[in-house]
A and B are shown apart, each in its own frame.
Chain A
């Protein structure tokens, strides 16, 4: 199977997971437990295949995420480009790190993207800062080892290079 298709389907799965509706009886704070699936997948592919997945792909994914979540067009595109840029400049170092050190990196990156997201929404609308905004980065960094290992097994299984 062509490797583009594999990469595209992981992104597609991440998008589905980031909009799948929660049970309506769940308390509203449960929504903050959702990891940043798309950012995690993006970071993985940039580290794994820096020659193929770069800022251009990040921009396209970001635009699609923007329409999917109804945010401003370009908001996620810009943030994902930044994420891809940082991951790309550090990919050689990141590959050397242990998986828990990578988790720490993921924590910082996702916190940064959360703050940028909050700024963009703050400028254009009415939102208040709550400490709940820290939760997705914590959850995402805890999810990272599993995301990393499953995507690596997918990459090896289908020989994506």
Chain B
């Protein structure tokens, strides 16, 4: 109970987690071995094809980045002209997923970056497609990530098309998120992209979160029933990205912010 209402035991938990890190690594060993074996036993031809494909993707992404850099610079110049704050670039670090919570009710994963890598509580986690979750506890070499699909997790989002601000709550299933408090007359359609709005200061703004797949206005009910499919591959993939934003540096005051409240 003390652990739930206060943050006094955060340090105890961090050091004890460091103690059990070998167990987590050992438990991950079969999956890792399987992955290694599948690479080791694939044929030379398949590998060459894979490399060619990756090269092409790399080239494409490089080209897009060139344009992106120019656009970012232009955008910032325009922002300065408008007198609003300059948007900073986010740095990302690749982390590997080494553990999954065995309880299917909680959507938590363990990644192989911890305090020694500068991870902090509240840090955002992405994958290649979109927002995945946030760090909720950090030990020396590992940290625990709460996914956006956990029922106790909510993320502030906005509709990319109409800039409508909403809150997306986890549903307990990785297949969809529930959008809370959407008015029946809200400007939202199936197929709309939801991006993180950056409100609340926890998640950086502008990352894709989910795509709306169902909008049902309910007569006699003040709010509509809206669900969205998360863009990130929450239950697949082994590699995730840790976001280090320049303007959202780690501050001790928000270190023990209650994870259930945002």
Contact = CB atoms under 8 A, between A and B. Distances in A.
Contacts of A24: 235-236
Given A19-B24, A74-B3, A126-B151, A64 B16 contact: yes
Interface string B1-13: 1111000010011
Contact of B101 (A15, A67, A70, A121): A70
Contacts of A126: 151-152
A73 B24 contact: no
B230 interface: no
Nearest to A132: B104
Interface in A14-38: 15-22, 24, 28-29, 31-32, 34
Interface stretch (B27-35, B123-131, B176-184): B27-35
A133 B127 CA distance: 32
Nearest to A133: B105
B144 interface: yes
B99 A21 contact: yes
A19 B2 CA distance: 25
A154 interface: no
A157 B250 CA distance: 53
Contact of A73 (B9, B102, B105): B9
A92 to B, nearest CB: 33
A72 B152 CA distance: 15
B23 A31 contact: no
Contact of B13 (A12, A29, A67): A67
Nearest to A124: B4
B19 interface: yes
A125 B151 CA distance: 9
Given A21-B28, A73-B3, A74-B3, A16 B104 contact: no
B103 interface: yes
B20 A68 contact: yes
A122 to B, nearest CB: 11
A12 B22 CA distance: 10
A127 B30 CA distance: 30
A16 B2 CA distance: 27
Interface of A: 12, 15-22, 24, 28-29, 31-32, 34, 63-64, 66-70, 72-74, 121, 124-127
25 contacts: A15-B20, A15-B23, A16-B23, A18-B102, A19-B99, A20-B27, A20-B30, A21-B28, A21-B99, A29-B104, A31-B102, A66-B16, A67-B13, A67-B16, A67-B19, A69-B101, A70-B137, A72-B1, A72-B4, A73-B9, A124-B1, A125-B151, A125-B260, A126-B152, A127-B105
